[in-house]
């Protein structure tokens, strides 16, 4: 049996988030033209618990390989998390991204610090606010120096209670909206994220492995000849989470 109350609750919350995304896009659409891209992302996150409060997270992935001949990106992103209390978690790490482009490749280093506040609402709902500060250093090969930028991001996410589809139990739904805020950049705003919206479904496959399928709407600003463009990325993302002994 499908748990209709949980699904209806998920639909109501997702509808509110979709409305918020639509409101966020109106100013950008009025100023610059939009272009659409489709990408595929796939990544594996490994989790190692050293204690009930401290754990290692490392995710590794590839983007664009199955969907785009002009752009492919691979990344390694180790991090650690420390739980201060039942609802507050500190998060920090560093990432290496490497993009393979038509004209030149683009390496990027990205250390960050973040904090997550999670709250349980109703029977099984989890609402979380995640705030993160990131420093980005990337190397444009035609240039002689590394360019840098400093930005913040805020993610508002909801996770639904577990529900059933047919006779299969253990599914959960995800929805989030994540605006990005640029503080400073030496790259003359060569590119920058505007915001990201995510809608997904997941399920634990066994005690160690969990899988998710997500749709992301991702708005990016890039510099092109003649001005600044808003690019709408539609992303199909597959995520796997593996817990190590």
Full DSSP string of 103-123: S-EEEEEEEEEEEEEEEEETT
Read off the DSSP letter of residue 162.
P
Output the CA angle 167-169-174, nearest 5 degrees.
130
Closest CA to 139 of 111, 102, 99: 99
CA distance 171 to 211: 10
**What's the pLDDT tens digit per position in 35-52?**
678 889 999 999 999 999
pLDDT at 101: 76
The tokens for 47 are: 């989790």
Per the rule left: phi > 0, alpha: psi between -120 and 50, beta: everything else, 26 is: alpha
Residue 221 reports pLDDT greater than 90 = no
Confidence of residue 67 (pLDDT cuts 50, 70, 90): confident
**Domain locations in the chain as residue ranges:** 4-244
Is the Cβ–Cβ distance between 205 and 211 less than 8 Å? Answer: yes
pLDDT at 22: 47
Is the Cβ–Cβ distance between 57 and 47 less than 8 Å? Answer: yes
Residue 139 reports pLDDT greater than 80 = no
pLDDT at 228: 61
The tokens for 137 are: 């250093």
pLDDT at 102: 73
Confidence of residue 185 (pLDDT cuts 50, 70, 90): low
**Is the torsion defined by CA of 23, 25, 29, 30 positive or negative?**
positive
Bigger pLDDT: 183 or 239? 239
Residue 25 reports pLDDT greater than 50 = no
Confidence of residue 244 (pLDDT cuts 50, 70, 90): very high
CA distance 44 to 66: 16
What dotted CATH number matches 4-244? Answer: 2.40.160
Report, as an integer, the average pLDDT of 98-115: 87
CA distance 51 to 111: 24
Confidence of residue 179 (pLDDT cuts 50, 70, 90): very high
CA distance 240 to 62: 13
Share of the chain above pLDDT 70, in %: 76
Mean pLDDT for the chain overall? 82
Is the Cβ–Cβ distance between 75 and 95 less than 8 Å? Answer: yes
- Number of other residues whose CB lies within 10 A of the CB of residue 196: 20
- Number of other residues whose CB lies within 10 A of the CB of residue 63: 21
Residue 127 reports pLDDT greater than 90 = yes
Q: Measured over all CA atoms, what is the biggest interatomic distance in the chain, rounded to whole angstroms?
A: 61
pLDDT at 147: 79
């Amino acid at each position: 049996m499908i748990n209709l109350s949980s699904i209806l609750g998920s639909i109501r919350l997702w509808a509110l988030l979709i409305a918020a995304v639509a409101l966020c896009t109106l100013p950008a659409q009025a100023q610059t033209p939009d272009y659409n891209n489709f990408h595929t992302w796939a990544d594996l996150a490994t989790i190692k618990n050293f204690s009930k409060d401290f754990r290692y997270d490392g995710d590794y992935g590839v983007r664009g390989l199955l969907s785009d001949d002009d752009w492919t990106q691979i990344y390694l992103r180790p991090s650690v998390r420390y739980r201060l209390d039942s609802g507050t978690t500190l998060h920090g790490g560093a990432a290496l991204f490497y993009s393979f482009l038509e004209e030149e490749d683009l390496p990027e280093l990205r250390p960050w610090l973040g904090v997550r506040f999670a709250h349980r609402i109703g029977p099984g709902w989890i609402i979380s606010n995640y705030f993160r500060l990131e420093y980005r250093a990337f190397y444009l090969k035609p240039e002689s120096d590394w360019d840098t930028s400093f930005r913040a991001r805020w993610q508002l996410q909801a996770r639904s209670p577990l529900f059933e589809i047919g006779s299969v139990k253990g599914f959960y739904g995800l929805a989030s909206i994540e605006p990005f805020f640029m503080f400073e950049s030496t790259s003359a705003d060569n590119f920058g994220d505007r915001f990201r919206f995510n809608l997904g479904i997941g399920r634990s496959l066994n005690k160690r492995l969990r899988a998710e399928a997500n749709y992301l709407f991702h708005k990016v600003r890039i510099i092109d000849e003649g001005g600044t463009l808003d690019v709408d990325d539609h992303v199909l993302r597959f995520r796997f989470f593996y817990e190590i002994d």
